Amino acid sequence: MCLQRDHDGRAALLQAGSGAVVQYETGKAMAGRVCVMFLAIALALAACGRGERSLTAEGAALYLGNCAVCHGGDASGGGGASVPGLSKTPPDLRVLALNAGGTFPAREVLAVLNGYHKGGQPGRRMAGFQSLESERRRRIKIGDVRLRPSEPMAALLLYLDSQQIR
C-alpha cells in the first residue's frame, strides 16, 4: 500500500499494483485522525503508569494510618510498645519477600489482612481494618501473581511490595 496526494491535498491510500483506492480523505482529516489516535494512546499509557504509582502512594498513607503504630513508620517492626494488649513484637514487614525466597508473598499477605480486617484472627491481637473494606475491586499484578482485592487492600499490598528488601 502507498499514500498518494492529489492537487487539492487529499490523500489516498492505494493498494500497490492494483490502483484500487482503499481509503480516500483530505490530508487534514487524515492528520486529525492520526493525531487523535496518538493522543488516545498516550493518555491511556499515562493513566496506566500513574494509576499504580498513585495507588502505591495511597497504600503508604493507609500503612501510616493503620500499621505504622505497631510495625514502625519504616515497616521494620518492633513497635507497638504503647499498644495495650500487644503480646508479641510485630514483625519486620520489609523482609516478607526475603523470607519467601525473594518473591513478595502477595496471596499470603492478602489472606492475613483479609482475616484481620474482618475482626481479627484467633490467637493474634491485631486491630481490625474497617478502612480497607470496599466494594470496589482493583486488579493488580505483583511479580507473577494477579489479584483482585478491594482498592484499599490493593494499595496496601503494592506499598508493602515496594518496601521489600530483596
What would the pLDDT profile of 130-150 be if each residue is shown by its tens digit? 777 889 999 999 999 999 999
Q: What pLDDT does 98 receive?
A: 96
The H-or-E segment that residue 114 falls in is: helix 106-117
Query: In whole angstroms, what is the distance from residue 39 CA to residue 26 CA?
Result: 20
Place of cell 483506492: 21
Query: In whole angstroms, what is the distance from residue 111 CA to residue 162 CA?
Result: 19
What is the Cα Rg of the chain in Å? 26
Pseudo-torsion of CA 135, 141, 147, 148, nearest 10°?
20
Instruction: Name the pairing type of β-strands 140-142 and 21-26.
Output: unpaired
pTM: 0.64
Question: In a structure prediction context, what are the per-residue pLDDT tens digits for the chain, which is 166 residues long?
Answer: 555 555 555 555 444 555 554 444 455 554 444 434 444 444 444 444 446 789 999 999 999 998 998 899 999 998 777 777 777 788 899 999 999 999 999 999 998 888 765 555 555 556 666 777 889 999 999 999 999 999 999 999 999 999 999 8
CB-CB contact of 110 with 147 (8 Å): yes
